[in-house]
Amino acid sequence: MGAERTDEEERRRYWSEEMDAAYRFMLAIQEAPVAECGEPLAALPEAAASAGVTVFFSALPHVRGLPRLFFLRTGIMKDFLAAAEEMNRSGWAIKVEDAYRSREMQKYNALRPDVFPAVLEKTQWELGGAMPDIKLFRRRLAALIAMSPKVGTHCSGSAVDVSVLSLDGGAEVDRGAPYLEISEKTPMGSPFVSKEAAHNRAEITAIMARHGFRPYPFEFWHYNKGDSYDEHLSGSGRPARYGAVDLDPATGAVTAVPDPAAPLNSEEDIGAGIEHALREGGAGRTLS
C-alpha cells in the first residue's frame, strides 16, 4: 500500500480549490435545463433480489429517523443491476448507502447535528484555525450538501451513494476513507489517499461507467445517470430527463417538484445550525 501524502499546506490548498470548484458546479446545476420525463421509480432491494444479484443496503435510519428510500428510476434500474452483477463477478458487492431522497430528507440532511460541526471544523482547518466569515461557511456548506431539490440529484431518483464490500468476508473495499468522509480525501480524484485506495476508486468507477453511471467529481461515493449532473459533466448540452420529484413509495409514481430551485432551508434554518455548531464546539465563538 502506498504512503499517504501528509503535507498540511498542500492538503489545505487542494481542499479549498476543490470546494470552490464544487460550489461553481452547484451554481451551474441550479441553472441547468431539465425536461422531466415522469418516469416512475422502483425499489432497488426487490429488483436486486429478483435479478439474483448480491447488493447490500445500509441498515441505518436516515435523518430524523426516517427510513431510507432505496428507489431508482425504472429506466436506469437495468443498468444499475448490470453494474452490480459485474461487481459480483469481480468479487465485490455494492452496498447502497443512499438513493432517492424526499425533500424532507434533503432538507434535514443539511441540518444534521453531525454535519454542521464537521463543515465548520474543516473550514477552520482550511483557514489555519481561524473562524471563517459567514459567506465562506455558507459556500462550503452548499458545496458539500445540496441546498435545493434541483441541485440534489438524489431528489431526482437518479443517483446512488455506494460503498463496496468484498464478497469474501464482507470487508469494505478500501477507498481511502469511509462514506461520508468530509476531508481532502472526499473528492474522487484526491491525491491524498493510498495507491491501493486510488486504484479501487478507479476500478469501481470504471465498472459503473461501463453501465452509464457518471461519477460526481467531488464525492468518491456518488454516481448518477440521466440527470443534470450527468448531462453537465458530459457537456452534452441536452436537458436532463430526470429532475426533482416527489415520490409515492406505494406505487413508484412521481410528481415533479413545483419549484425545484427554491432553497430547502431558510437563512434562519442555516443560522440556527451555525449557532448550534458553535455552542457544541465551544462558547464565545462567532462567525463574522
pLDDT one-digit tens code per residue, 159-182 = 999 999 999 999 999 999 999 899
User: In this structure, is residue 287 part of a structural domain?
Assistant: no
pLDDT one-digit tens code per residue, 182-203 = 999 999 999 999 999 999 999 9
User: In this structure, is residue 270 part of a structural domain?
Assistant: yes
User: In this structure, is residue 152 part of a structural domain?
Assistant: yes
User: Nine-digit cell at 178?
Assistant: 469511509
User: Nine-digit cell at 179?
Assistant: 462514506
pLDDT number for residue 33: 97
Q: What is the DSSP string of 124-193?
A: HHHTTTPPPPHHHHHHHHHHHS--STTT-GGGGT-EEEEEEEETTT-PBPPSSS-TT--STT-STT-SSS
Name the pLDDT band for 284 (thresholds 50, 70, 90): very low
Q: For the domain that residue 18 is a member of, what is the CATH number?
A: 3.30.1380.10
pLDDT number for residue 29: 97
pLDDT number for residue 283: 37
- Helix spans in 32-73 (H): 44-51
What does the pLDDT average to over 99-126? 88
User: In this structure, is residue 65 part of a structural domain?
Assistant: yes
pLDDT one-digit tens code per residue, 206-258 = 999 999 999 999 999 999 999 999 999 999 999 999 999 999 999 999 999 99
pLDDT number for residue 281: 63
User: In this structure, is residue 3 part of a structural domain?
Assistant: no
pLDDT number for residue 266: 81
User: In this structure, is residue 120 part of a structural domain?
Assistant: yes
Q: What is the β-pairing status of strands 92-98 and 56-57?
A: parallel
pLDDT one-digit tens code per residue, 245-277 = 999 999 999 999 999 999 998 878 877 777 777
State the Cα–Cα distance between residues 29 and 230, nearest whole angstrom.
Answer: 10
Q: Which helix (H) or strand (E) holds 270?
A: helix 267-281
Look over the chain and give the mean of its residue pLDDT values, rounded to a whole number: 92
Helices 267-281 and 115-126, packing angle to 10 deg: 80
Give the number of domains in the chain: 1
3-state secondary structure of 234: helix
Residue 285 has pLDDT above 50, yes or no: no
State the Cα–Cα distance between residues 83 and 13, nearest whole angstrom.
Answer: 35
User: In this structure, is residue 210 part of a structural domain?
Assistant: yes
pLDDT number for residue 156: 98
Q: Could you give the C-alpha distances from 196 to 95, 133, 225, in angstroms and in order?
A: 20, 37, 27
Point out the least confidently predicted range of 23-27, 135-139, 206-210, 277-281: 277-281
pLDDT number for residue 207: 98
* Cβ(218)–Cβ(143) below 8 Å: yes
Range of the domain at 94: 8-280
pLDDT one-digit tens code per residue, 65-93 = 999 999 999 999 999 999 999 999 999 99
User: In this structure, is residue 288 part of a structural domain?
Assistant: no
pLDDT number for residue 56: 98
Residue 110 has pLDDT above 60, yes or no: yes
